[in-house]
Amino acid sequence: MALNVLPTAVPIDFGPIDLPFVEQNLFDDLVVLLKEALGPSSGLTSADVNVNFLARLMKLYDSRDMNWSKYAFGDRSRGYTRNLVDEGNGKSNLLVLVWSPGKGSPIHDHGNAHCLMKILKGNLTETRYEFPQEGSAPGSMKVISEKTYQENQVAYMADELGLHRISNQGDDFAVSLHRKKNPSTKTTTTFVGRS
């Protein structure tokens, strides 16, 4: 699949990998680039994953509904739906999540894996929490920070940054793209009833 590039390549420093400047990164191209960046064996728990490079690839993509709408299926009765885009190398999935208005995820960790999220449509609010102290009572989750991400912004989360919850505080569906560790290899804890 050919990428749309400028006639003159302008290198961007992504660390050890050097790619030409991408003028218009179409969604299908992004899927291929993310898959190639992980290679045949790297999972999102691997030390050799260049998370900054993956995040920059996601930032280069300018969201257009027509590119990803075939993966976006909302359900107002749920907080969000997870729609598989690509199984990657079997160790991480690329998912489009559709967030119902006024709803969100439970508070959760990421099973010692990296998680990248790009907002494709709307706004999503991330609330980060400290891990609860052993023996703490339900409802005692301490908020570390809260930030609202807008369309085309990219967020990063890992367990060393705490727990988090994503919510759509808007009146319409919001859509995001996630590169996550494969659920079959994932050990994630949710903290239901603690918010």
Sheet hosting strand 124-129, strand order edge to edge: 143-149, 124-129, 163-167
At 85, list the tokens.
Answer: 């885009």
Interatomic CA distance for residues 135 and 132, integer angstroms: 8
Q: Is 114 annotated as a binding residue?
A: no
Find out whether 104 and 80 touch, Cβ atoms under 8 Å: yes
At 56, list the tokens.
Answer: 């920059």
Interatomic CA distance for residues 83 and 99, integer angstroms: 11
Nearest to 27 by CA among 19, 39, 35: 35
In the Cβ-directed half-sphere of 66, how many Cα atoms lie within 13 Å? 1
Q: Is 164 annotated as a binding residue?
A: yes
Q: Is 178 annotated as a binding residue?
A: no
Q: Write out the binding residues.
A: 108, 110, 164
Q: Write out the binding residues for Fe cation.
A: 108, 110, 164
